[in-house]
Amino acid sequence: MSIFATFSIIISLVALFGYVNFRYLKFPSTIGIMIVSLLFSVALIILDYLDLFIAEELRGMISRIDFSDILMDVMLSFLLFAGSLHVDMKKLAAQGLPVLSFATIGVILSTIITGTLAYYAFALLGIPVDYIYCLLFGALISPTDPIAVLSILKNASVPESLEVKITGESLFNDGVAVVVFLSLFEIAQTGVENVTFQQVALLFLQEAGGGALLGLVAGYTAFLLLRSIDEYKVEVLITLALVMGTYSLASYLHLSGPLAMVVAGLLVGNQGRSLAMSDVTREHLDEFWEMVDEILNSVLFVFIGFEVVILVFRVEYFYAGLISAVIVLAARLVSVGALISLLRLRRKFIPNTLKILVWGGLRGGISIALALSLNSNMSKDIIVFVTYIVVVLSIIGQGMTIGRLAKRLSFEE
Angle at 285 between CA 279 and CA 291, to 5 degrees: 135
Number of Cβ atoms within 10 Å of the Cβ of 149: 31
Residue 135 is predicted with a pLDDT of 97
Radius of gyration of the chain (CA): 21
- pLDDT 10s digits, 291-330: 999 999 999 999 999 999 888 889 999 999 999 999 999 9
Topology at the third CATH level for domain 67-408: Na+/H+ antiporter like fold (1.20.1530)
Q: Contact 302/20 with Cβ under 8 angstroms?
A: no
Q: Which of 354, 301, 344 is CA-nearest to residue 166?
A: 354
Segments making up each domain of the chain, as ranges: 3-64, 67-408
Q: Contact 255/210 with Cβ under 8 angstroms?
A: yes
Q: Contact 348/408 with Cβ under 8 angstroms?
A: no
Q: Contact 147/367 with Cβ under 8 angstroms?
A: no
- pLDDT 10s digits, 213-259: 999 999 999 999 999 999 999 999 999 999 999 999 999 999 999 99
Q: Contact 250/256 with Cβ under 8 angstroms?
A: yes
Residue 45 is predicted with a pLDDT of 82
Q: Which of 249, 233, 241, 391 is CA-nearest to residue 325?
A: 391
Residue 55 is predicted with a pLDDT of 67
Three-class DSSP labels, the chain: CCHHHHHHHHHHHHHHHHHHHHHHHCCCHHHHHHHHHHHHHHHHHHHHHCCCHHHHHHHHHHHHCCHHHHHHHHHHHHHHHHHHHCCCHHHHHHCHHHHHHHHCHHHHHHHHHHHHHHHHHHHHCCCCCCHHHHHHHHHHHCCCCCHHHHHHHHHCCCCHHHHHHHHHHHHHHHHHHHHHHHHHHHHHHHCHHHCCHHHHHHHHHHHHHHHHHHHHHHHHHHHHHHHCCCCHHHHHHHHHHHHHHHHHHHHHCCCCHHHHHHHHHHHHHHHHHHHCCCHHHHHHHHHHHHHHHHHHHHHHHHHHHHHHHHCCCCHHHHHHHHHHHHHHHHHHHHHHHHHHHHHCCCCCCCCCHHHHHHHCCCCCHHHHHHHHCCCCCCCHHHHHHHHHHHHHHHHHHHHHHHHHHHHHCCCCC
Q: Which residues of the chain have pLDDT under 50?
A: none
Residue 411 is predicted with a pLDDT of 79
Residue 60 is predicted with a pLDDT of 79
Note the pTM of the prediction, 2 decimals: 0.93
Residue 158 is predicted with a pLDDT of 81
Q: Is the dihedral of CA 65, 393, 333, 126 positive or negative?
A: negative
